[in-house]
Homo-oligomer: A and B are copies of this chain.
């Protein structure tokens, strides 16, 4: 969102994040993952033993993130892909024997964002069907799961990449002040809101809708409605224009 931009240090942190895809079966998923990464500002894709790559299907699914594919590194092992990282976060869709409880995606992203300020980090995804092997999982210092429907927990690979990259961007955004929104309409002042309420009241009395002798809660309801809406100045002008036109017609 253009009102929320990353600070230069946050942008540098993003450049320290590798997305590692292990033993991916479908080249289309590699392309879709590249696109998902780029939408969140990540660029460093590492492929460990992809079944088919490069491939036109990957390019088709990348849909504008071709640069991420072109610059992707292909490795023969996860060990090679992880060289130099200070934190490797493995994504897993199910519990394993011997597992510590995995982090939720949001907490994991915060952890990753914190570590990326200090050095290279990796986000590691397994094969579409079988996930990461136990040996691969064991090489990663941190495991994470995306909270999901217990009866249908299998996210598409690129969808999981999208959620994690999104959470990482949110984690990096969260540490900085949000700038003032410049193009919101100017809010009406208290007096302007009172003015339109009086105008409504007078029009309603004139039209016979409001009986001055027993007004009931009518104006109170309108006041509450306008307060809740946080009326803008231009809206006050529109409403008063409406009312004036009704009165002129009657006059």
Residue numbers of A with Cβ under 8 A of B are 1-5, 32, 35-36, 38-41, 63-65, 95, 100-102, 104-106, 145-150, 152-156, 158-159, 162-163, 166, 169-170, 173, 181, 183-185, 200, 203-204, 206-209, 218, 221-222, 225-226, 228-232, 234-235, 238, 241-242, 244-246, 248-250
Total copies of this chain within the assembly: 2
Known: A100-B184, A245-B204, A246-B246. A152 touches B2 (CB 8 A): no
The complex places the Cα of A173 from the Cα of B2 at a distance, in Å, of 28
CB distance from A212 to the nearest CB of B (A): 14
Q: How far is the CA of A101 from the CA of B221 in the complex (A)?
A: 27
Given A147-B170, A148-B40, A184-B100, A156 and B238 touching (CB < 8 A)? no
Residue of B101, B104, B203 near A184 (CB, 8 A) is B101
Tell me if B235 and A225 are in contact (CB < 8 A): yes
Assembly CA distance A97 to B78 (angstroms): 48
Cα A227 to Cα B163 with chains together (Å)? 29
Minimal beta-carbon separation of A244 from chain B (angstroms): 8
Q: List 6 A-B pairs, minimum CB-CB distance, nearest first.
A: A209-B245, A229-B229, A207-B245, A41-B149, A159-B162, A1-B147
Residue contact B39 to A148, C-beta cutoff 8 Å: yes
The distance in angstroms between the C-alpha atoms of A181 and B145, with both chains bound, is 15
A251, B232: Cα distance in complex, Å: 32
B35 adjacent to A101 (CB under 8 Å): no
